[in-house]
């Protein structure tokens, strides 16, 4: 059995401003760095073998902090688990998109990456991961839209996933060709005691 904790990266200034990030390489802000430390401390009480990260800096920074807390020296980075590309909409807020393109902006050809393309690259990555790292405990740091699309495909019986919290933990297990979810969108490490 292979166990994967899928993590959304920590908070950025664009998250707070409601700006679509996509491929834009926006770093964590101070809150995001703190969230990543709290996540690493939460995961440190368990055994982990591998840390994987999207190539984008907000995921890489989150993964590096988590890996340090876990005592893992190297991080497997892969472009295939990067965020869905937002095309011309990147860097804009919903209000700006509505003002510029109107309420049907999602149906326009703005150069956004298709769900099919996101799934194709994401599933290719997961296939490689479960083959090369079979039976291991894996931390996978990626992005909100990417996670939601992958979960909707792997677990079609689940209700549509809501927006993922920054540094949220979703635990998946893969065994005998089947995916199961044992924890979804958990941010208990961010809750004040």
Which residues form the catalytic set? 9, 83
121 annotated binding-site participant: no
93 annotated binding-site participant: no
176 annotated binding-site participant: no
* Orientation of helix 57-70 relative to helix 30-43, angle to 10°: 40
CB 79 within 8 A of CB 104: no
* Orientation of helix 144-154 relative to helix 115-132, angle to 10°: 80
13 annotated binding-site participant: yes
58 annotated binding-site participant: yes
143 annotated binding-site participant: no
All residues at 6 or more sequence positions from 30 whose CB lies less than 8 Å from its CB, including other chains: none
Residues, the chain:
193
Strands laid side by side in the 2-8 sheet: 75-78, 50-54, 137-142, 2-8, 169-175, 178-186
14 annotated binding-site participant: yes
Helix (H) or strand (E) segment spanning residue 3: strand 2-8
55 annotated binding-site participant: no
52 annotated binding-site participant: no
Annotated binding site for substrate: 8-15, 58
Annotated binding site: 8-15, 58
């Amino acid at each position: 059995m292979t166990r994967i904790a899928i993590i959304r990266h920590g908070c950025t200034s664009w998250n707070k401003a409601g700006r679509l990030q996509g491929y834009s390489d926006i770093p964590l802000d101070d809150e995001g760095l703190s969230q990543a430390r709290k996540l690493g401390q939460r995961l440190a009480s368990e055994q982990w073998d591998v840390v994987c990260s999207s190539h984008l800096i907000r995921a890489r920074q989150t993964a590096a902090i988590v890996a340090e807390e876990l005592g893992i020296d190297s991080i497997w980075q892969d472009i295939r688990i990067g965020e869905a590309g937002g095309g011309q909409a990147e860097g804009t807020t919903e209000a700006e998109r509505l003002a510029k393109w109107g309420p049907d902006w999602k149906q326009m050809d703005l150069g956004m990456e298709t769900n099919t393309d996101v799934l194709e690259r994401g599933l290719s990555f997961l296939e490689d991961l479960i083959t090369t790292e079979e039976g291991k405990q894996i931390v996978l740091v990626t992005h909100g839209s990417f996670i939601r699309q992958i979960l909707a495909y792997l677990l079609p019986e689940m209700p549509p996933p809501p927006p993922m919290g920054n540094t949220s933990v979703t635990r998946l297990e893969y065994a005998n060709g089947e995916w199961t979810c044992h924890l979804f969108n958990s941010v208990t490490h961010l809750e004040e005691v």
